[in-house]
Amino acid sequence: MALFRLTRSAEPSLTLRGEGHYLRPAQNADFLAWAGLRERSRAFLTPWEPTWPDDDLTRLAFRRRLRRQTEEMARDECFAFLIFDENSDALVGGITLGGIRRGVAQAATLGYWMGAPYAGQGRMTRAVAAVVAFGFSSLRLHRMEAACIPENYASASLLKRNGFEREGVARAFLRINGAWRDHILFARIEGDPCDPAPKGSFLG
């Protein structure tokens, strides 16, 4: 059975559906929920993310984010989604398939964040599975890459559950929380085997 259902009559309505969640690009009406969840999760997310701009949670910055999202989708450069609980419609996190390279590469980079109240429940494992399926089937990618700092054990584990394999370490790869940090590099190639999580279970 397919892990997601795709609606793509127009890019702004692009929706992925996975077990227990649906994913779609952000809209203007999402601002309060997005800013509220990000603020409540600030301490939880700070060790794993670049330093937030001072105006990051303002409505103006959100509008800029939406404009960039639309432009990047139109250029086939990046597809960003918010993740919602299927039953409550609560916003729980976000996931991006960006840095898309066509030509001889056909590759993209996966990034994601989960709100603190919803972490450790297997939700991102499900969301990543839906986006990976979308990337290989609809975007016709050949390779998906992801990276995490060495002590982010939860992120490394969910990537492995989704069939990503460790490929090495990139020194001082990204500036995270104000410091250049080494990152473990992971990748999944189209056709790589992956044992899906049992239906209805959450792995954390």
For residues 203 and 185, the answer to whether their CB atoms sit within 8 Å is: no
pLDDT computed for residue 192 by the predictor: 86
- Residue 49 in domain: yes
Q: Among residues 136, 127, 124, 194, which one has the least CA distance to residue 161?
A: 194
In the 8-state DSSP scheme, what is residue 68? H
pLDDT computed for residue 193 by the predictor: 80
- Residue 200 in domain: no
Q: How many domains does the chain have?
A: 1
Beta strands 21-24; 15-18: pairing state: antiparallel
- Residue 112 in domain: yes
pLDDT computed for residue 195 by the predictor: 53
pLDDT computed for residue 22 by the predictor: 96
Q: Which domain holds residue 138?
A: 6-142
Residues of the chain with pLDDT under 50: 1-11, 196-204
For residues 129 and 156, the answer to whether their CB atoms sit within 8 Å is: no
Query: What is the distance between the alpha carbons of residues 3 and 16, in angstroms, rounded to a whole number?
Result: 9
pTM score, two decimals?
Answer: 0.87
- Residue 155 in domain: no
Written as six digits, the tokens of 103 are: 């030509």
pLDDT computed for residue 19 by the predictor: 84
- Residue 182 in domain: no
pLDDT computed for residue 134 by the predictor: 96
CATH of the domain at 96: 3.40.630.30
For the chain, the residue count is 204
- Residue 110 in domain: yes
Q: How far is CA 48 from the centre of its chain?
A: 14
- Residue 177 in domain: no
Written as six digits, the tokens of 69 are: 């999202």
